[in-house]
Amino acid sequence: MTETELRIIAANAVQQALFSGATDAECTLSDGSEFSVSVRLGEVEKIKEADSCGAGIRVLLGQKQGSSYTSDLTPEGIEQMVASAIDIARITEADPYAGLPEASELGQLEIDLGLYSPDTLSTAEKIEIAKRAEAAALAFDPRITNSDGASFDSHSGTRVFANSRGFLGSYRSSSCSLSAVPVAKSGDRMERDYWYSIGRDPSKLEAPELVGRLAAERVLRRLGARKVPTQQTTIVFEPRVARSLVGHIFSAVSGDAIYRKSSFLLDKLNHLVAHPSVTLVDDPNIPGLFGSSPFDDEGVPGRRHLVIENGVLKTYLLHTYTARKLGLATTGNASRGLTGSPGTGHGNLYLEPGSMTPKEIIHAVGTGLYVTELIGQGVNTVTGDYSRGASGLWIENGELTFPVAEITIAGNLSQMLENILHIGNDLDFRGSTSAPTLAIGGMTISGAE
């Protein structure tokens, strides 16, 4: 369907809801296509290709709200969806804070954010790119004996949003990614690791040979990993894992966590919550990046916010509901899928880079652990308690030495933010959260006795 057709469907759905008795309504539509190919040991393993669409509607009956969704965008499908939302809204209860943004808050960024560029590659070319990435990994070293494959994925789609306060907006976006997952063996132990590249179109991707080689280097340096003794030490997070810390801060500054008193950053607005070298930015307006969009999922234009500035917590991230709960204004951080009510999201949420290179940080740390992978969900953003499985490389005399695995690292997020010792200059945007290399002191490693 064309963007215009989708806009008409969304606007009509909102009108139908009002006609059926809703006092307010908003409709989200998405229409897109996906392609993915994976190759393994030089042969195509899986190819998938499909188009899909869906719609979601939220209706208000005064201060009661309900929502519905459908994968059927025909007039009958939309009609059923609207009826279903109104039907289910009746069983909910009045919530004095429920509602859409004020008309004055609605709007969209007019500049071209560069979110879409057409996919010009043929299937054969995509297969070739994936094969080249895998081949580069396999050829890199004889200890790379196996592969979990390489894949090329692409997606493009249109998002439309309309509400009964007069907003109608839409935008197209595209993305593609290339990844390689080699397996290396030494004795009877195997390891795997990966590298990936992501872009709005294939021309923005790293070369397949580079993706393969970086994946190969990463897996090789894991071979022969051992536990280190239980101890307190400094942990250096490489960017690929440092960005998960940005994600935890996000959970703790989102308005939902604040009004529910379930955040370790509760009541900390305008307080020092991190080392003064820390500045955390949320910016949905940076062209081409993966957290960019011309309006949030309630039709409010997103803005650049300093969430933490020089260590001081300056703002929570809010959408209309949480803003009203806290007596504040929305920060344009509404996020939603097709189903349900909006929640909190972010644009490009990143930690401002510092001036040291990763090598200088490792040198300055002297002794500690350089973490390259974290597993598990042992992070409690209510209390800040942090405990995750880790692997990486041991730092001795300011250099990376042997690989380490089967250990955990633990601490508390409040103290971890205060104990940030060094921030790298290697900020790189590979998704909507980003962070450079970070060194954090005073963490506990659990390992061997």
Of 206, 352, 406, 426, the one binding other proteins (CB under 8 A) is 406
Residues 105-124 within binding reach of other proteins (CB under 8 A) = 123
DSSP 82-136: HHHHHHHHTTS---TT--PPPGGG-----S-----------HHHHHHHHHHHHHH
Of 278, 404, 405, 427, the one binding other proteins (CB under 8 A) is 405
Contact 59, 92 (CB under 8 A): no
Residues 178-207 within binding reach of other proteins (CB under 8 A) = 183, 189-192
CA distance 441 to 164: 51
70 sits near other proteins (criterion: CB under 8 A): yes
Residues 414-433 within binding reach of other proteins (CB under 8 A) = none
Which range of residues in 21-29, 76-84, 246-254, 304-312 is near other proteins by CB under 8 A? 76-84
Of 78, 98, 242, 249, the one binding other proteins (CB under 8 A) is 98
CA distance 443 to 420: 11
Q: Tokens at residue 184, please?
A: 């290396």
Which range of residues in 15-23, 111-119, 289-297, 368-376 is near other proteins by CB under 8 A? 368-376
3 state DSSP class of 197: strand
359 sits near other proteins (criterion: CB under 8 A): no
Going 157 to 289 to 370 to 138, the CA torsion angle's sign is positive
Shortest Cβ distance from residue 113 to other proteins (Å)?
Answer: 26
Of 288, 389, 398, 431, the one binding other proteins (CB under 8 A) is 389
CA distance 252 to 351: 15
Shortest Cβ distance from residue 303 to other proteins (Å)?
Answer: 27
233 sits near other proteins (criterion: CB under 8 A): no
Shortest Cβ distance from residue 10 to other proteins (Å)?
Answer: 16
For residues 11 to 50, the per-residue mask of contacts with other proteins, x marking binding by CB under 8 A and - elsewhere, is: -----------------------------x--xxxxxxxx
Cα angle, residue 117 at apex, residues 112 and 122 outer, rounded to 5°: 180
DSSP 199-221: ESSGGGSPPHHHHHHHHHHHHHT
β-bridge mates for residue 234, sequence order: 368
Residues 276-335 within binding reach of other proteins (CB under 8 A) = none
Of 380, 398, 400, 429, the one binding other proteins (CB under 8 A) is 380
Q: Tokens at residue 413, please?
A: 């997020």
Of 12, 15, 30, 92, the one binding other proteins (CB under 8 A) is 92
